Copies of this chain bind each other. A is one copy, B any other.
């Protein structure tokens, strides 16, 4: 639901002769957890911790140890029985798997409140992502410099994507124009989109879309908050601590 879908031939169970690229298939759910593991692993690396066990790493990332081991086993697994996983190797391995050994230029379309906050957010600038373009149709924003990048007109979209070989686009546009912008991004060659606008996007198969939707998240929380109100009495040990990430 959350991710863009890749069209797949129906039927045809258990790879027939047509199955050329076997690509070890890391499950989507695993991919989504790798960044969380990586964050903890990097901090262990900084502290100079040489190895970590699945129980330790699992507990600090809020997952079940068996799940962690299963996840890492999809990457070809670098652990040693009786010892644990070597932190350095694992950082390198997970980084490579996630494609973080190269730099990813990105474009941000829509430089309103949210677009500006995204541009200023340091978290990704440091880690392999680089802003190749900030695009907005508002003439008052043109040339304004945000976090070291100046805003360009949306007309430049295709030029920027092509000149910098951008494959990732962030959409912080008003809902009404988001599909139109998406179509242009895709036509220009973008294959991965992070959409902040509350719109269901339609894209060609092979283009990946991830959705970040604030009001959706709030509505989901409201659902649970309401449950608490009327349903009241939570079953289950009231003392248990839970991790969520």
| B-binding residues in A (CB < 8 A) | 1-9, 20-21, 23, 29, 31-36, 38-40, 60-63, 97-100, 102, 104, 106, 113-114, 116-118, 120-121, 123-124, 127-129, 167-168, 191-195, 198-229, 231, 233-245
**Once the chains bind, are A204 and B7 in contact (CB under 8 Å)?**
no
A21-B231, A121-B214 given. 4 additional CB < 8 A pairs? A1-B29, A129-B215, A201-B245, A203-B241
Q: Give the distance in Å from the alpha carbon of A61 to the alpha carbon of B245 in the complex.
A: 27
CB within 8 Å for A233 and B21 given contacts A5-B244, A218-B124: yes
**Once the chains bind, are B35 and A235 in contact (CB under 8 Å)?**
no
Contact of A242 among B36, B117, B205 (CB under 8 A): B205
CB within 8 Å for A222 and B118 given contacts A4-B244, A7-B235, A234-B205: no
27 contacts between A and B (CB under 8 A): A5-B242, A7-B235, A9-B235, A9-B236, A31-B220, A35-B213, A38-B219, A39-B198, A98-B222, A102-B226, A104-B225, A117-B117, A124-B214, A129-B222, A168-B218, A168-B221, A168-B225, A201-B245, A203-B242, A205-B234, A205-B236, A205-B238, A205-B239, A205-B240, A206-B228, A208-B224, A208-B225
